[in-house]
Amino acid sequence: MKLVVIIPAYNEAKTIATVINKIPRDLAGVDQVEVVVINDGSTDQTAKLAQEAGAVVVSLKQNQGVGGAFTVGMKEALRRKANVIVNIDADGQFNPQDISKLASPILQGKADFVTCSRFKEKDLVPKMPALKKFGNKLMVKIINFITKQKFTDVSCGFRAYSQEAAMRLNLFGVFTYTQESFIDLAKKGLVMKEVPCKVRGVREHGKSRVANNLFTYGWKTTAIIVRALRDYKPLKFFGAIGSVIFLMGVAIITFVFVHWCQTGGTSPYQSLIIVGAVALILGFLLWILALVADMLGRQRNIQEEVLYYQKKRLYER
């Protein structure tokens, strides 16, 4: 049983060695622990210090963002025949000793994906800006609505994946991967659990490259979620938009018709007839698009299944 810890890192020279050294090498049910640092185009001594601390370093030629570095890390862990993969940040906000808490449900066969929750227990809620807390709660509500599950933290990067979950996971977000992972794995029916952990709310050194600007983070994260929703539930996505526009058209045409019945004319609302007609046509076309997108979604499911078996043949040798 092999556990691989992946650490995406960008200019984390002040903390990377400490994080690596604190990672437990003796875990119940695990025969081998390996640490892989994804050096995401760092310009400081991150790669050198990580290597000196005993980690395997995979250096990217240029910065690819947290999501891109995470994807590279997952592929590298699978290539190294990992049975369990744990992702932890390089900034020191998470306690590496909690790796056993995340890995345990997977080792026991009770879960495929386990994530650290900063908000599951009130006593463990970290100190952080009120706006950041609000953003986290909003993201939780959105992801819970999409996945029909009850999570308390969907933005924490401290997580564990079974080999099965890692092979099933297909992400497209480069900026971040945290929320998209929930949508992707929930759609594929994998068992997901949360484990409460004590986490430092604010970095000791530097600034977060994901949540440094909360408005930028919210905008980019929302874009990733919307695209994921479009890909995973295309019939509902386009159908809902089409229905709203079509009903607007019906309402406008109905309003003009009632006015005509009462007055015998359409003045001064003639222009609304065109607006209503356009809304009806656009809504109908979006319904057609929803059906086409749903058909393409089925093709995507087939392609992902084929990709899954290709990964099994590649990584399980």
Q: Is 263 found in the same domain as 240?
A: yes
Per-residue confidence (pLDDT) for residue 230, from 0 to 100: 86
* The domain boundary residue, chosen from 232, 252, 274: 232
Q: Which of 113, 89, 75, 100 is nearest to 20 (CA)?
A: 89
Per-residue confidence (pLDDT) for residue 213, from 0 to 100: 60
Per-residue confidence (pLDDT) for residue 122, from 0 to 100: 86
Q: Please write the tens of the pLDDT for every residue from 201-258.
A: 665 555 555 555 667 767 777 887 888 888 888 999 999 999 999 999 999 999 999 9
Per-residue confidence (pLDDT) for residue 222, from 0 to 100: 81
Per-residue confidence (pLDDT) for residue 88, from 0 to 100: 95
* CB proximity list for 278: less than 8 A, separation 6 or greater: 249
* The domain boundary residue, chosen from 232, 252, 284: 232
Per-residue confidence (pLDDT) for residue 207, from 0 to 100: 59
Residue 77 belongs to domain with CATH number: 3.90.550.10
Q: Is 283 found in the same domain as 219?
A: no
For residue 159, give the 3-state DSSP assignment.
strand
Cis before 234? omega within 30: no
Burial status of residue 93 (CB atoms within 10 A of its CB: 0-12, 13-18, 19 or more): buried
Structure tokens at 200: 């430092």
Range of the domain at 286: 234-315
Q: Is 259 found in the same domain as 208?
A: no
Q: Is 183 found in the same domain as 36?
A: yes
Q: Is 34 found in the same domain as 176?
A: yes
How is 161-198 classified by DSSP, letter by letter?
EEHHHHHH-----SS--HHHHHHHHHHTT--EEEEE--
CA distance 182 to 74: 16
Per-residue confidence (pLDDT) for residue 203, from 0 to 100: 57
Q: Is 157 found in the same domain as 20?
A: yes
Element spanning 21, H or E: helix 16-22
Residue with tokens 């006593």: 123
CB 172 within 8 A of CB 184: no
Q: Is 308 found in the same domain as 238?
A: yes
List, in sequence order, every residue forming a beta bridge with 8; answer none if it has no partner. 38
Q: Is 148 found in the same domain as 192?
A: yes
pLDDT, averaged per 10 consecutive residues of the chain (317 residues), comes to 95 94 93 96 94 94 89 94 95 93 95 94 83 85 89 92 94 76 91 92 57 67 82 90 96 95 90 95 96 91 89 81
Per-residue confidence (pLDDT) for residue 229, from 0 to 100: 82
Q: Is 272 found in the same domain as 191?
A: no
CA pseudo-torsion sign 156, 108, 54, 198:
positive
The answer to whether the pTM exceeds 0.85 is no
Longest CA span, the chain: 86
Domain count, the chain: 2
Q: Is 275 found in the same domain as 153?
A: no
Q: Is 129 found in the same domain as 243?
A: no
* The domain boundary residue, chosen from 180, 201, 232: 232
CA distance 26 to 49: 22
Q: Is 255 found in the same domain as 157?
A: no
CB 229 within 8 A of CB 146: yes
